[in-house]
A and B are shown apart, each in its own frame.
Chain A
Amino acid sequence: KAGVTQTPRYLIKTRGQQVTLSCSPISGHRSVSWYQQTPGQGLQFLFEYFSETQRNKGNFPGRFSGRQFSNSRSEMNVSTLELGDSALYLCASSLGGTGIPEAFFGQGTRLTVV
């Protein structure tokens, strides 16, 4: 069974640009969550999608957005990039059903903003 796949693995972008990251969950998983990991702030929750609907959101500015497709794959978009957006972006997939909360992470996309 394939794990959670994130693409690309590495990205270098310039301030002001926008970026789109992709996450393919484990087959059968319908929930995808996104997290930002930085040395200073640790792992912080961005948002969660389930059945193409955002059902939970963290405390990030509106420049951070996401969506989920009918096949459960999810994308995250960051517009008007700032230097502080440099981080490892991780997605986690889970079944999303009642009583089954286990979440499994992808290998992450390391974004560097210059």
Chain B
Amino acid sequence: GENVEQHPSTLSVQEGDSAVIKCTYSDSASNYFPWYKQELGKRPQLIIDIRSNVGEKKDQRIAVTLNKTAKHFSLHITETQPEDSAVYFCAASLSTGTASKLTFGTGTRLQVTL
């Protein structure tokens, strides 16, 4: 089955700096890669996703890149703010329309300091 590895497990950056979280996946058939943000005591929230027919996607300060050949994808957060502090999860899925399940990475705890 699919296996997703995520690095680093913790990341501390100063406000205004950039943060990068990297994930690798094992199943070359996976075609959907979402990122979730989970604040303490809250539900995971979908913040951005990318599909295998796209190499990069950007939404304001957040961007995701995908390298299908190397089977890795990354989340980039620019101009970090204290409210970006949370645990971020990457996931991979083979979404065929008939069945799908998300395999998650182990999470990255991002702390943005003033």
Hey, which bits of chain A sit against chain B, CB under 8 A? Answer: 4, 31, 33, 35, 42-45, 48, 50, 55-56, 58, 90, 92, 94, 96-99, 101-108
Name 12 interchain pairs, CB-CB below 8 A, sorted by A: A42-B106, A48-B101, A55-B99, A56-B101, A94-B100, A96-B97, A97-B97, A98-B98, A101-B93, A101-B100, A102-B34, A104-B46
Within 8 A of A (CB), among B85-108: 89, 91, 93, 95-107
CA distance A106 to B105 in the complex (A): 19
Q: Are A43 and B44 in contact (CB under 8 A)?
A: yes
Closest B residue, CB atoms, query A98: B97
Binary per-residue interface labels of chain B (28-62) against chain A in the complex, 1 for a CB within 8 Å, 0 otherwise? 00001010100000111110010000000000000
Q: Label chain A's interface by main secondary structure.
A: strand
Q: Are B99 and A105 in contact (CB under 8 A)?
A: no
Residues of B in contact, count (CB < 8 Å): 25
Closest A residue, CB atoms, query B98: A55
Q: Are B101 and A90 in contact (CB under 8 A)?
A: no
Closest B residue, CB atoms, query A99: B97
Residues of A within 8 A of B106 (CB): 42
Closest A residue, CB atoms, query B93: A101
CA distance A53 to B99 in the complex (A): 11
> Given A102-B34, A103-B34, A105-B43, are A45 and B49 also a contact pair (CB < 8 Å)?
no
Q: Are A43 and B89 in contact (CB under 8 A)?
A: yes
